Structure 1
């Protein structure tokens, strides 16, 4: 891996944007493992004078995880405990964010504002030491001790945190897994122990029951990145979940050999499995019950490596049928209660909307399940995902794009407000079409010349772009307190052939609002954080002002009078096509 990375960081992007190989290594990791784009990577790097042993911070809003990264790019075979102590130091400093922000460099200060907001939403903290070497034996002992200290500390702590070692072997594995992120297909071999497994057929289905050593669990690919749990109804609930704390207590206690009896077991489904010479070969492996257990075991890896005669029950089922696998996933999740947001895809209001949408658009598809594939005969322009629709609704109808980044809030806290009505498929498709046009502006070519910091936030800033589109219609119709119909807006803009122009104006005004906010004076020891600004209500007032100001200034621009007249014909719609916003706060 060292030679591979050394070669790849010679590319122009790494050489131009980062001053040394240490930063380039961390940037390579962000790009190739965390799948950050070019702009996000530059803004995630905090390395430099005053970095407080923190080389980068990645906030993953999809998984609700904050990654705090320390990198050591060295060609040696072994590395001692010093990098681990730096990681532990950063963990200690995170106990006092105010002090850390006062003493950190400007890039770190900006990221910590975003970190504070994420911690308020109960994000998990994961400290990653990434290195192209492996640890010495003494360093491995220190890692085990640090993991236990953090586990003990969390007993009275609201913040869930862990330390992960990404050494040369793990780096290679994560890199390989990242290549398959879009369509993960996991193959894995389990070494079965004679006398501790049973192979049988039940109801025409091959079943293997096995007592698997916990040490073998650490070798299963796809635990940390979640790809192993693709068919599960939920991902990890965090290490401070009550059940997961109990699992940790057992692992670090003197009753670890009773783990097999304390635990309900892990259910795994495979598209195909075979036993040869005591080895179980699985293809298309997915864990549908046991996500919490395996992620907790993985977080205590150094402790687990030392446990002898400690097992967990695995139930392997050969289930190639997708619908049957989904039913098993839901039915087996009883150890931790399934929250409503985990099963929204089966809500009768969602299923009704799916029926109406697909009847209205026969070549389209309303995707209600995560990972659902699109048949080749469907028109991509008429494919709409439930998760995306929730974000569109809260941005347009609730006028709260600052919440759209959080699927947890949309499908738990605000689900009743967003989906209580029988939503018209024409409005759903109109929002879909507006977003298709908006996403074209967020490409690498950056046709609107958007600020780099906006491009680094394309996981959530495009929803502010959609919000700005709605404000263009509301402000020009002088209905700033109400929300226009998406389908009427799109139909009228399409008839006047100004869809792209309206999207352009909305994007430019969003850019203006960000730059205006960045130029406002900040309190002492504080720096402006675009990522935090975009998640607050303050940004909405800034966007409103920018949209209003743009139309006021348009007549003074060259040819602006004629443009304004054309836009008025499209943007002014009948007042009966407005309604009050849907409450979401």
Structure 2
């Protein structure tokens, strides 16, 4: 499933190419050309995630993969970190090869890095390098302080059989980083789906001083029980916040209790948008509560050689309040950058930057961040479930279920909306957090708890071991089976509790042996439905005090009437015990039914 998600992302990246691009948009029936397009898109994915290159043409410019490329498939020059990245990529066209097959040592030895960096115009075979490699040479030669730069080789392929020191030797003595299949899934696929792929280190925000009588800012030092802080308050251009949010997306909302929330149906977001776009004046500065941003270091310079201008510098910024404001600004900017420059001109928003000072413990800082978030998120109420979403337990679960099963666990509301909007996945692939836990408990036999609706908000997961792969394997099966069951109901229909019980029966009866394609699930469900009927016939025939059974007396006639409700029975405590007992006694009968279905 993870590989299928990766391929879907690569196909979406190919669609970002200009119209008529046969390299990225070949005939779908031409398997070889499709594979070549995806292989090139895989490099695009790396450049987008690691360096925040959101524009297709910017990435395509630095992809050198072609004949006479000197073994270099792409490059990136990072002027901030002073590193030249040289990329060698080997994409595999099926899941097994992508996860098992390694890049050959000959392909690494084919990288003519020293020769290219020395400015040689031809390869060792005497044939001139292609135009993109010559462009790489020109780009490097134009760097004034190239002596301060380091070189790093990036290998987008599996290379488990070679130790790191040998990899360095194979790469001509240069530092090398290997992105094997596991790292590709965790560091490329999942981040691009959640919009958390490009971390902001330092941001610069220009400030207009022309209408500010008391200077550009107000600063105030605050001592708290957790750590010392400096608060800087100033008005900044909304267009700059829009650009920052569009570039860094959810990566700048790490400590915010919510991720992106779509505009449609969100009254606060719609109100923000209308205030900005329907007025030429700056009422937005009055109406909006502003943005609160965390920073490790904050500087403001009013002497930048421009009249009535200043510059704000923020290190490692994180927005903890005003995420909806920032999000809406980014959507306006992303939809039409030229129009946004005009529509958002001369409009400002209040920015409060909280700089965390000193060398206090990370735990103290996180506690203070949580308290600030709780106190400041008032414009749209933040429910407790949103606050729990950033706990390490949920982060661990999210990473584990994706790594092992390809599941997309939505711990933060709206965190996958970026991937959905970009066409990298569909909404149906995301598992909403309450639904996730209802099926977890159902699949593992705690049916009554699985019936509860707000499990995430209760945040009572102390008994769950994230390392218990079997319980999450049951969950994975339950999600696939429930998806097939749900398809038989209209979107507006409530799913009866008995369907959750059938999911549990499915997991108990079929277990690890079951294939999870649509045809297999349909066939196996026939066995489950048979078991469901037989089991309840047995339960109703039992004597004594059975959960779900009620006896009523007609007051006039004195006649006793016994009724049995499956709904009441599911609420009782004995379903799992009863079913296990029945299943043990009737396993041969069910196996016979399964063979008949097959």
TM more than 0.5? no
TM-score normalized by the length of structure 2: 0.40
TM-score normalized by the length of structure 1: 0.41
Q: Which has the larger radius of gyration?
A: 2
